[in-house]
Amino acid sequence: MDQDTVKEFKQIFSGNVILPRDDQYETARITYVSKDSHPAIIVQPKTIKDIQTALSFGQNNSLRISVRSGKHSVAGFSTNDGGLVLDLANFNSIEVLDKEAGLVRLGTGATWGDVAVELAKYNLAISSGDTKSVGVGGLTLGGGIGWMLRKYGFTIDSLVGAEVVLADGSVVKASKSENPDLFWAIRGGGGNFGVVTYFDFKAHPVENIVVATTIYGVSNLQKIITGWRDHMRSAPRELTSFLTLMTDFGGPTPNVMLMSCYSNSDLKAANKVIEPLRNLGEIISDETKVVDYPEILQEAHPPEGVRFSVKDMFVKNFDDDLIAQLSTICCKEGSPIVQLRIMSGAIDDVNPDATAMAHRNNEVFLFAGFPIPLEATKEEEAHIMENWDLIASHSSGKYSNFLSSNTKNDVSDIYPESTYKRLASIKLKYDPKNILNHNFNIKPALLR
């Protein structure tokens, strides 16, 4: 990629072009996960024509193409070394198309924090992620596990349509009535099939929510986890609950943090449901309040001096054996940070085959962040990760948006065989040359 080639590209590209020699490059290349990647060129398109031009430029110059919406890809798909980063930050519009019907259109580069604030003006909300700065595109394409998931399902369960630029530059719509195969695939199949410019969602009427945060000591860890599980098995779907088993990393002492979201503003009803959870163990602090939905979304705080290796799994049956193992390995020096998210509710209303996100009918989703010192050797990292091996056999599948690894086994665990075969057939139709491959990659059917 010589200077003349780049100069010609700039003449037909209306957006921002950032090269390693430019002042903005250092800021633009760094993501929330990676500080070490150095792409050859970062482009920020303003128009669909710009996206088409960038895709063509990348292919003509044999550059790996990474599509970025919010810089949060845990597996590092928001950037690359020596390739092209297609940064969709300018595609950040947030439109309410029909307030009564809840129909909204979100640019793929908008952040969920901005979306929540804008939709709150209309008393609307979408169960998205849990972090403000996460981009709409990446989270949605992976599925979306958010604060109201038991009430409204995965983020994709509220998706009704999208506009997609294919690798060959074609622009198509995807919905139940237009290209329904593509619509099925982008609901969980990641960025394998094209560059989404916007998503159409059916948002939900939400004025306020009740948020409860309880922090326990760790002296009765097994009792806390068991009691939480038992309570959530019969809890109404209005209650979504995350239990985080904290290490001493980043804080004075290990603890257990329970965050609960009751998806309406009925404080009395919420307290009635949440109250039994206050009897699970020694309480260090406890707060319950009615807030606007945007207030539950958190800031991202990338760690300093350490990186996290992140593993995750869905679990069909959250049994006593797994709880005992977690109680042994968590909340102590050197242990991972583990978060447990109860599934069920609206998630299970959708047939597993209805979307490419096939992991439904699970009791819990678990992810673990293992702090790895930057100077750690591969042998030292493997030793730190040994705790995962103790619990990994409980997995019924993986969720793409929380994984930091990208192996063939990961892809198999994200997409069950029948799902993968269907995706591979759709990939052959929409991206037969596998141009969009920097992801949990689905090989076109003939390439597998």
pLDDT in tens, 181-212: 999 999 999 999 999 999 999 999 999 999 99
The mean pLDDT of 90-98, rounded to a whole number, is 99
Q: Which residues pair with 373 in a beta bridge?
A: 306
Q: Is the predicted pLDDT of residue 252 greater than 70, yes or no?
A: no
What is the Cα–Cα distance from 217 to 384, expressed in whole angstroms? Answer: 24
**pLDDT tier at 409 (50, 70, 90 boundaries)?**
very high
151: confidence class by pLDDT, cuts 50, 70, 90 = very high
φ and ψ at residue 184, rounded to 5 degrees: -60, -45
- Residues 6 or more apart whose CB falls under 8 angstroms from that of 146 comprise 126, 127, 128, 129, 130, 155, 240
HSE-up (13 A, CA, CB side) for residue 334: 8
Is the confidence at residue 85, as pLDDT, over 70? yes
The average pLDDT across 3-26 equals 96
CB neighbours of 274 closer than 8 A, spacing ≥ 6?
Answer: 210, 212, 239, 260, 262, 288
Q: Name the band, by pLDDT with cuts 50, 70 and 90, for residue 334.
A: confident
pLDDT score at 129: 87
Question: What is the distance between the alpha carbons of residues 128 and 141, in angstroms, rounded to a whole number?
Answer: 12
CA dihedral 252, 257, 263, 265 (to 10 degrees): -60
Rounded to an integer, the average pLDDT of 92-105 is: 98
Of 276, 293, 399, 275, the C-alpha closest to 339 is: 399
Q: How far apart are the first and last CA of the chain?
A: 30
SS3 54: helix
The pLDDT value recorded for residue 410 is: 96
Using alpha carbons, list the distances in angstroms from residue 87 to 25, 43, 67. 13, 6, 6
Burial class (CB in 10 A: 0-12, 13-18, 19+), 311: buried
**What percent of the chain shows pLDDT beyond 90?**
87
pLDDT score of 448: 47
Split at pLDDT 50, 70, 90, the class of 155 is very high
Say whether pLDDT at 249 is over 60: no
Q: Name the percent of the chain lying above pLDDT 70.
A: 98
Q: Which pLDDT band, with edges at 50, 70 and 90, does 304 fall under?
A: confident
Which residue pairs, CB below 8 angstroms and at least 24 apart, start in 10-16? 12/53, 13/43, 13/45, 13/50, 13/53, 13/54, 13/57, 14/45, 14/46, 14/47, 14/49, 14/50, 15/43, 15/44, 15/45, 15/46, 15/47, 15/50, 15/90, 16/43, 16/44
For range 289-305, the mean pLDDT: 87
Check: CB of residue 281 under 8 Å from CB of residue 220.
yes
Characterize the bridge pairing of strands 41-44 and 16-18: antiparallel
Vertex 168 angle, CA 165 and 170, to 5°? 45
DSSP SS3 for 259: strand
Rounded to whole angstroms, what are the CA distances from 323 to 180, 182, 233, 242, 284?
Answer: 41, 39, 15, 15, 22
Whole-number pLDDT of residue 94: 99
Residue 29 pLDDT > 60: yes
According to DSSP, the residues that pair with 213 across neighbouring strands are 259, 287
Sequence-distant (6+) residues with CB within 8 A of 4 are none
Among the residue ranges 318-332, 377-391, 401-415, the one predicted with the least confidence is 377-391
Domains identified in the chain and CATH numbers: 3-87 (3.30.43.10), 94-206+423-430 (3.30.465.10), 209-405 (3.40.462.20)
Instruction: Report the pLDDT value the prediction gives residue 371, as an integer from 0 to 100.
Output: 86
Residue 163 has pLDDT above 50, yes or no: yes
Is the CB of residue 238 less than 8 Å from the CB of residue 261? no
Angle between helices 3-12 and 48-60 (to 10 degrees): 160
Span 305-319, average pLDDT: 92
DSSP strand E in 89-176: where? Answer: 94-98, 103-107, 124-125, 159-165, 171-175
How far, in Å, CA of 142 to CA of 233, rounded? Answer: 26
Model confidence at 447, pLDDT cuts 50, 70, 90, reads: low
Query: DSSP letter at 400?
Result: G
The mean pLDDT value of the chain amounts to 95
Question: How many Å is the Cα radius of gyration of the chain?
Answer: 22
pLDDT score for 338: 96
pTM: 0.96
For residue 399, name the pLDDT band (cuts at 50, 70, 90).
very high
134 or 250, which is more confident?
134
- pLDDT, tens digit, for every residue of 261-294? 999 999 999 999 999 999 999 999 999 999 999 9
